[in-house]
A and B are shown apart, each in its own frame.
Chain A
Amino acid sequence: MPSVTLTVNGKSHTVDIEARTLLVELLREKLSLTGTHVGCDTSQCGACVVHVDGVSVKSCAMLALQAEGTDVLTIEGLAAADGTLHPMQEAFREHHALQCGFCTPGMVMSAIDMVMAHPEGMTEEDIRHNLEGNLCRCTGYHNIVKAIAAAWPVMHGKELVAAE
């Protein structure tokens, strides 16, 4: 049986797996990191989004073996060791950007990725466009958009001015 070695949330793991194992299956079933969810089977919903080497990926559309040697960050790894939440987590709570909480981990991971990728600023339209790979059935997105806009200045340490 093949094995994969990777770092997840700062911790190195070597795991024996079938070649057909998806990254999300490795996280949920082998590493018991069940915060990353599976909401569809066509890579549409984004509930499974994690960061691999610093960028968002859909962990249901990546083999675990493809993650060999990578650094994976999941929702469980966002808060500081002392429990201090990431600004995006805080913003989601403050702005009621979640209801059932199922899409939330993927939403938060996508949101962090988009904010980091847009240091020049984002409009509401930019945020909505960048959420196109994440489905939420509860919130109507309104508060998710608000939360991301609120986290942007905290993450960048400057006021959010919409880029031209």
Chain B
Amino acid sequence: MNAIFEGIGASVRRKEDLRFISGRGNFVDDINRPGQTHAIIKRSDRPHAKLISIDTAVAKAAPGVIAVFIAADMEKDALGGIPCGWQIHNKDGSPMAEPPHPILASGKVRHVGDPIAVVIAETRQQAKDAAELLDIVFEDLPPVATVRDAVRPGAALVHDGVTGNTCFDWHIGDKDLVDAAFARATKVVKLDLTNNRLVPNAMEPRAAIGEFDPMSDDYTLYTTSQNPHVIRLLMGAFVLHLPEHKLRVVAPDVGGGFGSKIYHYAEEAIVTWSAGKLKRPVKWTCDRTEAFMSDAHGRDHDSTAEMALDAAGNFLALRVRTLCNMGAYLSTFAPAVPTYLYATLLAGVYKTPAVYAEVHAVFTNTVPVDAYRGAGRPEATFLLERLMDVIAHDTGHDRVALRRQNFIPADAFPYQTPVALNYDSGDYQTTLTKALEYAKWDEFPARRAAAAAKGKLRGIGISTYVEACGIAPSKLVGQLGARAGLYEVANVRVHPTGSVTVFTGTHSHGQGHETTFAQLVSDQLGIPISQIDIVHGDTNKIPFGMGTYGSRSLAVGGSAMVKAMDKIITKGKKIAAHLMEASVEDIEFKDGKFSVAGTDKAKTLAEIALTAYVPHNYPIEELEPGLDETAFYDPKNFTYPGGCHVCEVEIDADTGVTTVVGFTAVDDVGRVINPMIVEGQVQGGVAQGIGQALFENAVYDDQAQLVSASFMDYTMPRADSIPNILVGTETTLCTHNPLGVKGCGEVGAIGSPPAVINAVVDALRDFGVRHIDMPASPQKIWSIIQAGRPQMAAE
């Protein structure tokens, strides 16, 4: 029907682009409300201190200042603290430590950046001026800077009463089985490694505007969120005690999230509550430097991994012990990340029969840590895929053959791992084969020799991974500690003349939902995408939704749309049957037309819609008018994208500088709706993975001061530090959702870091190096080369 194919599988150019390339996007900071005031948050510059006193008098009297609020003001209104959305239980069955997380610091500050007061003024500059006039008296306490510091005997306590700074000490897998396998192993390979702490750094800094209408008691929050309904639920029910019908949360255009905009942040509650107090809109926009010390960070694990092998190189058992950082407070989904999004992935793509993992999560005087693109799965993949190369190094196995030998075979699906997950589909041999072919793996020795002739060290590395996304079955995650359901919601509204608006509970902040979802609807309903609008990001428009993270939007949100469209088609068939005087069973729906099987009688979707809204000739006794259906879809399982990434690097031995000279990703993301967008998602994820592997590092000094607190010190990947990224896809379909889709948002960031480090280690193979932690900075590599040189000479 369509002149141009724009259904599933077409690289349709994005519908949302026009406004962005024209400067007509609508980001939160672009919004200004009548009578708006401006908030500045006064933050702690101390990592750990008692708050002795806060004198606000001078600040309150400063020009333009409307109000200054501190924790005591909120306590008068009995506001709740920031809630945590996931509860983990310790090995002994007791619940994790869940210390209070006040909106504004009360009694103590626990990290540099901890909010202490809000200053609200007529202009942002006046608020900034006045914030400097706050007189705050601190009494410094010894800080806890790292996970190792946190567990040291006698370490200061971040939260009084949280013994040993332990949030939880959790485990998964069969310890006895693993111990037995180690006892009979012919070889055990052990690796200590860290997963470096990262700052997500979406290019749009967070922002929030609170607004209150005293005529109706309605509150509105405009916020940079990946999940406005979740914010409404958390902030409304637990913090401000506002009923849902009086609280509207709008997340308009959002400039990237990568996880950091999932969480309910203090500033959202501050501006909403303040707007009610002042009866004027209150706007807050984050500075980048402020973002570094207030956006949730990612990763930050210290782990030990041990693999037991038999003489033939078969994996017998994996044992992992991980110490992970929660930061100073529990962010919304923090406890889930190093547990159910990490340790459950430690089987990886391998048929290791026994896996046991212990995860010890601790509090430190650092910014809270939560999910960042990949969330737990990059940490699992880095551990496993580094371990693969170390096993190959230590045992003399070929690193490709070792992986192939231990892969879960393609005919073994569905496959139950020893760490809870049930993989529905995958074909790891094929993605590996394709990746090696695209990356010209076999010709690498010639490239290495050519590089050597130029004085460069060239290396190549692979990473074969599986991840779990499309979160998630509500019942399952409820058993695992989630305090929310993780279904998704779609409302498909066919208008009287046949155009369609779809309201989705997912949120697009770069993913291109307005296009991909329109393609999906076009494919199912047979109308052009110009006739389809996708609406997201407003709790007053959309029935409900859990938002976008964990590569779930298409797998869960798209499935909800399919379910809603099925309802539309079912109803449409009944209307068509009535109009064409046929039996419902004889009505077929195809290419936007309802037809009577075996005849040329047909009605378009638009004709059916018009009939539904103008029901003059209509089965009104059996059927309600209108063509508007809502569906909630609760997934049956996670989805399991997988694949292989190949990285090639060149190292300048004189300076230690690594250049990524080639990157190939072959991913199985299930059915692909828009290949152009999938490719872009993978490329962006890979760039973040290369960033983690080579450049990015959130560094705290031993006094818990954040040293890398701006783009002057935190190395962001730039155009000249990232190569072209070759992306291929190989598809096995997801078996449990109607589209067969798996998810593509995180695969790039999950698969790539170990591929990069494996390539770096390979480049340095003559220097006696076995492992390098991320980031493989020039200085680190130079040190390795320096240390390795005498050894080479000795050999």
Contact = CB atoms under 8 A, between A and B. Distances in A.
Interface of A: 18, 20, 28-29, 33-42, 44-45, 47, 74-76, 78-79, 85, 89, 92-94, 96, 98-105, 108, 124-125, 127-129, 131-132, 134-145
- By DSSP majority rule, is chain A's interface helix, strand, loop, or mixed? loop
Contacts of B303: none
Contacts of B253: 100-101
A75 B27 CA distance: 15
B5 interface: no
Contacts of A101: 16-17, 19-21, 25, 253, 255, 510
Nearest to A20: B125
19 contacts: A34-B23, A35-B24, A42-B711, A44-B712, A75-B21, A92-B17, A94-B13, A96-B677, A99-B681, A100-B254, A100-B255, A100-B256, A101-B21, A105-B23, A125-B720, A132-B719, A139-B680, A139-B684, A140-B686
Contacts, number: 180
Contacts of B773: none
A131 B255 CA distance: 19
Contact of A128 (B29, B686, B720): B720
A125 B659 CA distance: 13
B725 interface: yes
Contact of A137 (B683, B688, B720, B725): B688
Name the interface size band of chain B: 35 or more
Contacts of B677: 96
Nearest to A108: B21
Interface stretch (B199-207, B441-449, B527-535): B199-207
Contacts of A98: 17, 20-21
Nearest to B719: A131
Interface in B16-61: 16-25, 27, 29-30, 32
A24 B712 CA distance: 21
A105 B718 CA distance: 17
Nearest to A44: B711
- A39, A40, A101, A102: residue with the most chain B Cβ atoms closer than 10 Å: A101
Given A41-B710, A131-B719, A75 B725 contact: no
Given A99-B512, A99-B680, A140 B725 contact: yes
Interface in B705-740: 710-712, 716-720, 722, 724-725
Contacts of A76: 22-24
A41 B289 contact: yes
Interface in B195-224: 201-205
Contacts of B671: none
Interface string B253-286: 1111010000000000000000000000000000
Closest 6 CB pairs of A and B: A35-B23, A102-B255, A101-B20, A140-B687, A100-B510, A75-B23
Contact of A100 (B204, B288, B683, B748): B204
A41 B124 CA distance: 15
B567 to A, nearest CB: 32
Contacts of A78: 22-23
B722 A141 contact: yes
- B17, B30, B685, B687: residue with the most chain A Cβ atoms closer than 10 Å: B17
Contacts of B681: 99
B23 A36 contact: yes
Given A44-B711, A93-B17, A102-B255, 20 more contacts: A20-B125, A33-B23, A34-B27, A38-B29, A40-B711, A92-B17, A96-B680, A99-B511, A100-B204, A101-B21, A102-B202, A103-B203, A104-B21, A134-B719, A137-B203, A139-B684, A140-B683, A141-B722, A143-B680, A144-B719
Interface string B288-331: 11000000000000000000000000000000000000000000
A135 B711 contact: yes
Contacts of B718: 131-132, 135, 141
Interface in B636-680: 676-677, 679-680
B413 to A, nearest CB: 31
B23 A100 contact: no
A39 B720 contact: no
B720 A131 contact: yes
B680 A137 contact: no
- A40, A99, A104: residue with the most chain B Cβ atoms closer than 10 Å: A99
A142 B724 contact: yes
Interface in B435-482: none
A141 B27 CA distance: 22
Contacts of A92: 17, 21
B711 A99 contact: no
Nearest to A43: B711
B21 A85 contact: yes
A79 B22 contact: yes
Nearest to B18: A93
A45 B711 contact: yes
A96 B676 contact: yes
A142 B21 contact: no
Nearest to A105: B23
A143 B687 CA distance: 12
Contacts of A103: 203, 255
B223 to A, nearest CB: 15
